[in-house]
Structures are given as structure tokens and as C-alpha cells.
């Protein structure tokens, strides 16, 4: 539908007529010194009819140009159909470990061996797609913690930046406390009804300025709920000089710290030993933090004022050409 932002502008439509009436001199019987009732006989000689015809056309075009100008000034807009906008009021931040240990290929993806980060990208990417209505952010951490994506409704951008991350991008060590501290800093004071951090790591805190316990206390004070995920298999067969041997690739995983962080903030600790368990964890996170959609909508608006304005310019150009060719000014 079409609507006008400033309907009151149409009150100016009769303005030229009002000015014409008020500014025109009063004409009386004495205006004509000589009356010729047979003036029609001279029409063909003087061209009065032709000039009168042009005057009426000029008056019509001038009226049309004025109507177009007033219409443009009233700001016509095309209002589209309502579009639903889901919004849950939740701010959800993902913190993903990019330390060197994430390159351990103890996961399986689509029937092939995959490192921990690749499996995380695949599973977390699907989780991001399902979070319609949440504001999502992404923190990447290793020896340092970096805000890769600030809170946004653009899930596609968050997923793309996660997929583009590489092991070692933030350093080879693990700064769990700094990642939590950065999340607290970015989420503190936001208007979201719920603040959630999902922290995924495969090691222990070996770097950073803030201890994980202290960071968890800050998160609890800021009402930030943290779900921690420890990734890595418990057993892995690797080749050696004497054949094959079994090793524990997750021996550096500090489950006690991760469990303590979750308990302090009202979250929960999860253990992902393979891709299936990681998928199940993110499915459970969907249940623990369901998408609560509020009824928000907007109607797309397209401004149309340039169309009547352009028509007014065209009509005015034609009017000038008529007046210039005839020398007649419409009364």
C-alpha cells in the first residue's frame, strides 16, 4: 500500500488559487475603453484562439506540476507486507580453542579422520544456524583471546568466520581465563534477558592474565552462564618404533577447572570424546537454552517521492517551452 508521511502538506494544494485571487487587481466596467461585439471576426487574423488554446494547456500543465510538487513534499512511501523478526533477548557467545593441541586427529567426520577443530566447526556451525533470534558472538582464543565477531543477529557471518579460523591463529597455548574475561567484558551491561557463554577447549589453562577461577567469579557476578565443553578422545592408537601403542590424547584436559567454571556460573560441563557426543552436546544446549521467539515484525518501506518530483520537473520543462514559444503567461 501507499501512504504519505506528511499528509498535512496537501493543505497547500489550493495555495496558488488563493494567491491568484488575493493578488489580482479588481477589474471593473471601465477596464475596457472600446468594446467590439464582433471580435470573433478577427480571430483568424490575430490568432487569439490559438493563443487561448495554449494558455489553457499552460494552465493545465502548471496545475499538474504544482500537484506533483506537493505530492513529493508529502513524502509518499510504499509500505510492504509485515515481515516477522524473531528475537529471544538472549546474548550467546561462543569461545573456541585454537591452541596447537586442537590439531589432534582423534575425531571422525563423514567416515574420515578429522582434527578436533574441523569437527568443532562442522557441529558448531549447525548449532549456529539453529540459533535464530539470538544475538551471537565469537571469541577465538589460544595464548591470547580475540573477539572475532561482536554480538550480531547475522548468523551466517558468525558461521563463516568460525569456518575461516585456523589452529595457532591466537597462539599455541591456552588462555581459558582470558577468554572468559573477554566474554564478560563484551556481555556486561547488555540489555539481553539472558547471557550465555559456550566455551570449548581440549586442554588446561597455560597462558593469560586471568586465572580461570577468578574469571568464573567475574562471570557469575555479571550473571553470565557458562557451558564448558572438553573435547578429545580418551584413547588413540598411534604408530611407534615398536608397532602401535595406545595413548590418551586428552591427558592435558583439565576437567576439574572446566567443571568448576560451569558450577560457579550456573551452567554445566560436557565431555565430547567423539563427533557423535559433540553433536549430542549441542543438541542438549538447544534444550537448555531454547530459542524463545517474541512477536516482532516490521514492514519494509520504500520512498517514492522522487517519482512525482521527476514528473514535476518534466512538466515544468514542457511548460517553459510552451510559454517561451507563445509569449503567453496563463492568467
> How wide is the angle at C-alpha 288 spanned by C-alphas 233 and 177, nearest 5°?
60
- Are 227 and 270 contacting, i.e. CB atoms less than 8 angstroms apart? yes
* DSSP-derived pairing of the beta strands 135-141 and 90-97: parallel
pLDDT for 52 equals: 53
Q: How far is CA 173 from the centre of its chain?
A: 35
Kindly state the helix (H) or strand (E) to which residue 150 belongs, with its residue range: strand 145-152
Q: Which of 51-55, 262-266, 297-301 has the lowest mean pLDDT?
A: 51-55
| Res 90 pLDDT > 80 | no
Taking the C-alpha atoms of residue 216 and residue 114, their distance in angstroms, rounded to an integer, is 31
CB-count burial class (<10 Å; 0-12, 13-18, 19+) for 227: buried
Percentage of residues in the chain with pLDDT exceeding 90? 36
CB-count burial class (<10 Å; 0-12, 13-18, 19+) for 206: middle
Task: Kindly state the DSSP code that residue 14 receives in the 8-state scheme.
Answer: T
pLDDT for 20 equals: 75
The domain spans of the chain are 55-81+299-331, 85-288
Q: Give one DSSP letter per residue of 204-230, joined into a string.
A: ---S-SS-HHHHHHHHHHTTEEEEEEE
**Topology of the domain comprising 85-288:** Rossmann fold (3.40.50)
Q: Angle at which helices 212-221 and 176-187 pack, to 10 degrees?
A: 20
Amino acid at each position: 500500500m501507499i501512504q504519505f508521511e506528511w499528509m498535512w502538506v496537501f493543505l497547500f494544494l489550493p495555495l496558488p488559487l488563493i494567491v491568484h485571487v488575493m493578488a489580482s487587481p479588481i477589474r471593473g466596467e471601465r477596464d475596457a475603453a472600446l468594446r467590439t461585439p464582433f471580435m470573433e471576426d478577427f480571430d483568424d487574423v490575430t490568432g487569439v484562439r490559438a493563443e487561448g488554446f495554449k494558455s489553457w494547456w499552460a494552465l493545465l500543465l502548471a496545475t499538474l506540476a504544482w500537484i506533483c510538487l506537493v505530492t513529493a513534499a508529502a513524502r509518499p512511501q510504499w509500505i510492504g507486507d509485515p515481515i516477522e523478526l524473531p528475537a529471544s533477548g538472549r546474548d550467546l557467545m561462543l569461545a573456541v580453542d585454537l591452541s596447537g593441541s586442537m590439531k589432534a586427529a582423534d575425531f571422525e567426520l563423514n567416515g574420515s579422520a578429522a582434527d578436533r577443530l574441523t569437527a568443532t566447526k562442522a557441529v558448531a556451525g549447525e548449532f549456529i544456524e539453529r540459533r535464530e533470534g539470538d544475538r551471537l558472538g565469537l571469541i577465538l582464543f589460544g595464548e591470547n583471546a580475540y573477539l572475532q565477531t561482536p554480538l550480531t543477529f547475522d548468523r551466517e557471518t558468525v558461521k563463516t568466520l568460525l569456518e575461516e579460523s585456523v589452529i595457532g591463529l591466537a597462539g599455541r597455548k591456552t588462555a581459558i581465563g582470558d577468554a572468559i574475561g573477554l566474554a564478560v567484558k563484551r556481555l556486561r551491561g547488555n540489555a539481553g534477558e539472558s547471557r550465555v557463554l559456550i566455551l570449548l577447549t581440549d586442554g588446561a589453562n597455560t597462558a593469560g592474565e586471568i586465572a580461570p577461577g577468578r574469571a568464573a567469579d567475574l562471570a557469575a557476578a555479571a550473571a553470565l552462564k557458562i557451558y564448558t565443553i572438553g573435547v578429545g578422545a580418551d584413547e588413540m592408537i598411534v604408530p611407534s618404533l615398536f608397532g602401535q601403542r595406545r595413548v590418551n590424547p586428552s591427558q592435558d584436559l583439565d576437567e576439574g577447572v572446566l567443571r568448576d567454571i560451569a558450577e560457579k556460573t550456573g551452567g554445566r560441563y560436557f565431555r565430547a570424546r567423539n563427533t557423535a557426543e559433540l553433536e549430542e552436546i549441542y543438541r542438549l544446549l538447544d534444550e537448555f537454552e531454547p530459542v524463545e521467539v517474541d512477536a516482532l515484525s516490521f514492514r519494509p518501506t520504500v520512498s517514492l517521492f522522487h517519482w512525482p518530483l521527476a514528473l514535476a520537473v518534466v512538466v515544468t520543462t514542457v511548460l517553459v517551452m510552451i510559454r517561451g514559444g507563445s509569449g503567453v503567461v496563463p492568467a
